[in-house]
């Protein structure tokens, strides 16, 4: 076992609770967690998709059928996992979908569903594991966000709004639970071919926003982002689990720093350019 017992307080194996465990990055992570000897409570909308892991790993694998938007079901699933494994050491909120569409194109139902899964689903699981983690005074919470949780691109506004909400909640949470030796990390994947968008609900395109979709695809082509290997992310998430003092944010993939430097320098430049408005609002003499 590679997790330091002084970190998570375990001498034998750690217990993980992973949502979205049946496909994409989550499927790679589930297998890696079990391969190294840890316990896993794996949640998916269809528990039958997890049967191969249950067959292979036996009692160390708990398959849970779970819709993360159902708060009562989330509470029950976490309780089941805690009873089975005597606590949860690491929570990974990976369940989510990616709604592509301009802000005006997205229906009200689609917008609510996007927030329900990507933000509220993570909120409910986070809240469900916190009492046990606080009681044991240890734990890790890993929130799967996105580079789009830090930068907003056209035709992804509602998806990115769900990730920005997750970012704000998680940053505040990190400060709230640090006193209990609970660490919160936001994982920011950049570009991985997992079929996420293809498997997600999509807005009906409106010709009025063809330019927005073209700008999104052109931006992706010119960004310098290179698709990463989804299987390789398993090594990264295990390394995070073993780090004594994990970061609040970490990029999964390369070339994201250049995009963030451009984004943040542009924000600061804009705020400085319009600082005279800030002073006007304050009631200070206007200097332009």
Q: Which of 22, 57, 162, 163 is catalytic?
A: 163
Task: Please state, in angstroms and rounded to a whole number, the distance separating the CA atoms of residues 72 and 120.
Answer: 13
Distance of alpha carbon 24 from alpha carbon 45, whole angstroms? 14
**pLDDT mean over 196-212:** 88
Residue 62's beta-bridge partner residues?
A: 41
Average pLDDT of span 186-192: 95
Q: Mapping DSSP to helix (H, G, I), strand (E, B) and coil, where does residue 250 land? A: strand
Whether the CB-CB separation of 233 and 33 falls below 8 Å is answered with: no
Q: Is 139 helix (H, G, I), strand (E, B) or coil?
A: strand
| Cα distance between residue 237 and residue 63, in whole Å | 20
Report the percent of the chain where pLDDT is more than 70: 94
Looking at residue 184, its pLDDT comes to 98
Mean of the per-residue pLDDT values for the chain? 92
Q: What residue spans of 64-207 are helical by DSSP H?
A: 71-85, 108-115, 121-136, 157-177
Residue 245: beta bridge partners?
Answer: none
Q: How far is CA 71 from the centre of its chain?
A: 18
State the pLDDT at residue 220: 72
The answer, yes or no, to whether residue 9 has pLDDT greater than 60, is no
Q: Is 145 a catalytic residue?
A: yes
Diameter of the chain measured on Cα atoms: 72
pLDDT at 199: 80
Candidates 22, 119, 146, 159; catalytic one: 159
Catalytic residue list contains 163: yes
H or E stretch at 39: strand 39-44
Quickly tell me which residue has 């997790």 as its tokens.
3
Tell me what the mean pLDDT of segment 140-149 comes to. Answer: 97
Global pTM value: 0.91
- Per-residue pLDDT at 10: 43
- Give the model's pLDDT for residue 221: 67
Instruction: Find the catalytic residue in 22, 57, 119, 145.
Output: 145
Using CA atoms, how far residue 159 sits from 96, 98, 108, 123, 245, in Å, is 10, 6, 13, 16, 30
Among 77, 67, 26, 69, residue whose Cα is nearest residue 45: 67
105: pLDDT strictly greater than 70: yes
- pLDDT exceeds 60 at position 214: yes
Q: For residue 288, what pLDDT band results from cuts at 50, 70 and 90?
A: low
pLDDT at 287: 67
- Beta strands 90-93 and 182-189 are unpaired
pLDDT at 5 over 60: no
Say if residues 180 and 137 touch (Cβ distance below 8 Å): yes
């Amino acid at each position: 076992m590679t997790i330091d017992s002084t970190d998570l307080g375990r001498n034998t194996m750690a217990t993980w609770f992973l949502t979205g465990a049946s496909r994409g990055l989550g499927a790679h992570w589930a297998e890696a967690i079990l391969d190294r000897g840890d316990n896993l409570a794996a949640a998916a909308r269809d528990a039958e998709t997890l049967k191969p892991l249950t067959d292979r790993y036996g009692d160390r694998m708990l398959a849970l059928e779970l819709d993360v938007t159902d708060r009562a079901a989330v509470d029950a699933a976490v309780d089941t996992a805690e009873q089975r494994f005597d606590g949860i050491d690491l929570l990974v909120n990976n369940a989510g979908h990616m709604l592509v569409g301009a802000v005006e194109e997205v229906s009200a139902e689609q917008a609510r569903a996007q927030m329900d899964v990507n933000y509220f689903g993570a909120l409910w699981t986070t809240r469900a594991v916190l009492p046990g983690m606080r009681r044991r005074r240890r734990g890790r919470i890993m929130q799967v966000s996105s580079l789009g949780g830090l930068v907003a691109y056209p035709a992804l506004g509602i998806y990115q709004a769900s990730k920005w909400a997750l970012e704000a909640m998680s940053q505040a949470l990190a400060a709230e639970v640090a006193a209990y030796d609970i660490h919160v990390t936001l994982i920011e994947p950049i570009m991985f071919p997992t079929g996420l968008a293809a498997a997600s609900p999509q807005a009906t395109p409106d010709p009025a926003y063809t330019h927005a979709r073209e700008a999104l695809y052109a931006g992706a082509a010119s960004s310098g982002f290179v698709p990463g290997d989804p299987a390789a992310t398993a090594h990264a998430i295990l390394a995070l689990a073993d780090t004594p003092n994990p970061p609040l944010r970490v990029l999964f993939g390369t070339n994201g720093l250049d995009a963030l430097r451009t984004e943040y320098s542009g924000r600061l430049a804009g705020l400085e350019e319009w600082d005279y408005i800030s002073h006007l609002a304050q009631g200070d003499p206007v200097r332009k």
